[in-house]
Structure 1
């Protein structure tokens, strides 16, 4: 497999079949669908109804609820009826882990069921368990999501494929091949991770693998446990945006450790900004024999040069450079003519500042790096873009999509972000570099958005952990709402703070439990002590 989309240098949406969920069509030529998930306990029907309606009115088109057991699954019928009695037709999705019986019940009542192949069934009974669920889905005209999570792969998958994007893809493919065998096609697929780089690689590999086997199922995009505030928004924009700009993705969920309603405007902004790529200028670059592997991260090697801060440092044109002028060389793809490429070969220490005015900015900047790689030119390359955006939150999202979609492939030796011609403070650039793991300058807080299983106030707790321990470069701390998903989904973290019961927290270090059932009011202090040890 050489690529994951039709053309890396020309926008083409990935061709998928259409799947209809409660009247909402996704995939095919349909607009990208926005969804979110309730945080109320599924046993509390009234709270779930109120929150589902609030999420829907905020702009979500699908609403997901957890159903961890038979009782919660049965209550979905009550919730669905109560929503309808208020005059709303909201497509509902059940989120299932570990419990096939709950999935069977949920499929009888609501529009779509999400199962996690890492914990739905064992290898011995997978065929029977999935077959029973598909039988009900066919009878009741329900859709199914095969939702892989990086942190909860089955042990048999990890033993063979490792804790890798390849393992994530194989976890889904086992189920998707059975769906084909059972002639069931109302399926959506996801490959989520809290590690943005892993997430992007998994979706790319998943799209390529499905296409190679003739399985054109729609994709649900999301960075799981993205966190809160600007960090959560930036991580989500980088991961989701890096895929949407290449035409991959049919429905998205921005997972923030905040109210579900706050996710919707972020999702809308990501979708709208990525849609601007559909009209672009022609980019004369071929993706045949790519000089890099888009499925495996590798930092482009560049000449090491001193960092210049302030002073009179400016940019010159490629022609100025050919004429002997000094300074950073501002270039676009059009400048990479034979004479200039020869000059670059003779001057490997000269820094380039690469820009583009193409609507498909990502594709043209990517093409510039491909030209450099094909010609084996190691000049340092700074990525530069100027925006004209008055709303800072939108600017954060735009820059995260643009710069993140380049950095995620290991391209770029510096970022230069401007707004209305003024260079922005370095914080936004550093946050984008952190999200892509190109440069770690602070603690990464991995926190889930919460659901009906959550056992404490997640947003407040995550912020307290961030305030107390947020300044350690390279440190990763997971704040997870429950014991169901927490241990698996925080696999990428150094330390974990996981809800273990009402008012109780279990602490992890290196994936191993170090203290169980600590009173919540003592847990943060004990976590800080663990980090300091």
Structure 2
């Protein structure tokens, strides 16, 4: 299998997709990357749906998706559309279909696009292992094709576009039996439907490969592009999204890790950011992700071409092989370095910015789950003993001047590294970029067991240049651990969250990187008293990126859907309530799903699930197994906690003293 999945690994070139016209708003080709979202109001609430759609359009949505779980909702799309048009709103509407082909066939005559999920459109998912022979498998595929064919013909007749949207969590038992719960299974699920579309000479198709796991999501999209090319199929436009991303900062970071990684390589023609918030909050985030690539090609500096094929597998996660240097590399989790160098002098209370809280009552430090592993203090080493486990990085001159203390580790430039014989016996940090990785430096690195590289770039096309530097190390069999350093000019924190999650998360997705440092030197000027909070935000962001890329789990993860007209409870309120009571459970993954459509499948790798199954009724899951059915909503969170307690996963939340500086 070839590894080609994008136009270029070193230049910003957008993949040229087939143009699909959706209600007069085309996507693909040279058209802008489009923004879309989905209503959360009950589809039978015509005026509520209209009002929400208008708010979404005002926020920047270019397409609006509305659920149609049955024929009655599909029919009501006509009333919604008429009212929108009467109000002068011509936004293209998309019907979201899951289990009901007859609803899809009706909706295709009304709206501009229908979305079908091949995992449950005339297929089934009962979490059963079925042993298919080749003949029985082929017969089942043919049965599904015949059920799908009428929709294709209706769409072709009415000029209606279609999205074939595979979800990682809703692959059919048939696909799972042959391909497993894999990116390849996701791709094949879509291709079965796509091949029939081409047989019918129907090409107004958009494809998506959504997952809550960002590694799986990125690998599936890449593999899809590779398979389309391999089979000689049309280069259909791609709808990008991380499903069930969650809320607030975590949801934005997770979306950026998945969506941004693909945008960096020129993939994607429309974006939907799925947040457990009001849908009008999604479009601005999508727009911030997309706008980063306006003018990217003109701003980018040339990157040294690859000498051979890509030296890693882009379709499967493998962490780059490294040797262990102190607690970097090897089997260690990626480390976080907090940059405190902008502080005039680090005090006890300032360590709170790095997640280490000093309690004057106990006269000791308490490390949070987001406690940095190292702090960088530049030319100003801390004047006191650091809490147990926290280590300090200082500039080389400061390290020498301070007497080469054992708990200080120096950071140096390439020139000093080669010329200066005095080094720490265990750990030395070396600042490098792609340009400094010449033959002489690579030779020194090959024989040094104590060095950790700090890799940075000034290129506007940052992630591909950093990746190219990693490729240089892999090709030359250099196994030094690498910290990824990124710093951004003065800009809002919300933009930095998305930019850093894209640049660093995109590398972590490919197994590249053994640590993060977000440089504070380019943070906007601010009063001295505001520096700790700004640094604290960057520290939290570092841990959020590692968690979103599935490389270091440091807090509870919530796989919560963005809500829609099928939702059976207030998702935002419920998610906040569950978070309040469980956010201390480090590494536990909890799925919070508004209905059974986004139930056990969508939260494919969650440890526990909270799923709406009726008005005021909740089903609780352990993994994909339902444990308690129809639990009254008012008792459901208590019952969820009791389930964790039975499994030995529940711990009581500690009450800690108010730390200094709060």
- Flag as ranges the 4+ runs of structure 1 deviating above 4 A: none
Q: 465, 470, 476: which is aligned to 2:583?
A: 470
What is the Cα deviation at residue 293 of structure 1? 0.4
Residue matched to 2:261: 242
Following superposition, the deviation at residue 521 of structure 1 comes to: 0.8
- 1:232 maps to which of 248, 251, 266: 251
SS in 2 for 1:489: coil
Deviation at 1:276, TM superposition (A): 5.1
SS at match of 1:322: helix
Say whether the 8 Å CA contact 1:9–1:287 is kept in structure 2.
no
Q: State the alpha-carbon separation in 1 of the partners of residues 430 and 603 from structure 2.
A: 43
Moved more, 9-18 or 308-317: 308-317
Residue 319 of structure 1: CA displacement? Answer: 1.5
Alignment-derived partner of residue 197 in structure 1: 215
Cα distance, 1:124 vs structure 2: 4.0
Name the counterpart of 1:446: 559
Q: 1:303 aligns with which of 318, 323, 333?
A: 323
TM-superposed CA distance for 1:261, in Å, is 0.3
- 2:490 counterpart of 1:377: no
How many Å separate the matches in 2 of 1:31 and 1:126?
Answer: 35
- Give 1:485's match in structure 2, choosing from 598, 613, 616: 598
CA distance in 1, matches of 2:98, 2:195: 20
User: What is the CA deviation profile of residues 59-93 of structure 1, one whole-angstrom value per residue up to 9, with x for unaligned ones?
Assistant: 10000000011100010111100100111111000
- Range moving further from structure 2, 304-313 or 429-438: 304-313
Q: Distance in 2 between matches of 1:444 and 1:144?
A: 32
Distance 1:434 1:388 in 2: 25
Q: Does 1:50 align with 2:51?
A: yes
* 1: CA distance, partners of 2:490 / 2:64: 31
Residue 318 in 1 paired to residue 338 in 2? no
The equivalent of 2:496 in structure 1 is: 395
In 2, are the aligned partners of 1:507 and 1:513 still within 8 Å (CA)? yes
User: Secondary structure in 2 aligned to 1:238?
Assistant: helix
Q: Distance in 2 between matches of 1:219 and 1:406?
A: 21
2-structure distance, mates of 1:339, 1:191? 44
Find 1:218's aligned residue among 225, 237, 244: 237
Unaligned runs of 5+ in 2: 124-140, 328-373, 375-390, 395-408, 524-533, 647-662
1:416 match: 517
Alignment correspondent of 1:456: 569
Cα distance in 2, alignment partners of residues 229 and 306 from structure 1: 35
Structure 1 residue 388: Cα displacement: 1.8
SS in 1 for 2:197: helix
Match of 1:82 in 2: 83
**How many pairs align?**
533
Q: Is the 8 A contact 2:393 2:411 kept in 1?
A: no
Deviation at 1:485, TM superposition (A): 2.6
* Matching residue of 1:526: 639
- What root-mean-square deviation, in Å, do the aligned CA atoms of Structure 1 and Structure 2 show? 1.4
Within the alignment, does 1:501 sit opposite 2:602 as a pair? Answer: no
Cα distance, 1:243 vs. partner? 0.2
Per-residue CA deviation, residues 127-179 of structure 1 (Å, 9 max, x unaligned), is: 22222111111111110000000011111110000001010000001111111
2:204 equivalent to 1:186: yes
Query: Structure 2-normalised TM-score?
Result: 0.79
SS at match of 1:190: strand
Q: Give the superposition deviation at 1:96.
A: 0.2
Distance 1:383 1:311, change over 3 A: closer
Q: How far 1:317 moved relative to its partner?
A: 1.4
**Separation of aligned partners in 2, 1:310 and 1:349:** 16
Deviation, structure 1 residue 512: 0.7
Unaligned runs of 5+ in 1: none
CA distance in 2: counterparts of 1:174 and 1:427, whole angstroms: 42
- The change in CA–CA distance for 1:170 and 1:150 in structure 2 (over 3 A counts) is same
In the alignment, which residue of structure 2 is the partner of 1:329? 430
Matched, 1:175 2:193: yes
More helix by proportion, 1 or 2? 1
Q: Give the Cα–Cα distance (whole angstroms) in 2 for the partners of residues 495 and 276 of structure 1.
A: 44
Larger gyration radius, structure 1 or structure 2: 2
Change over 3 Å in CA distance of 1:71–1:311 after alignment to 2: closer
With 26-35 and 1-10 compared, the bigger mean Cα shift is at 1-10
Contact 2:56 2:280 in 1 (8 A): yes
Indicate conservation of the 8 Å contact 1:7/1:287, yes or no. no
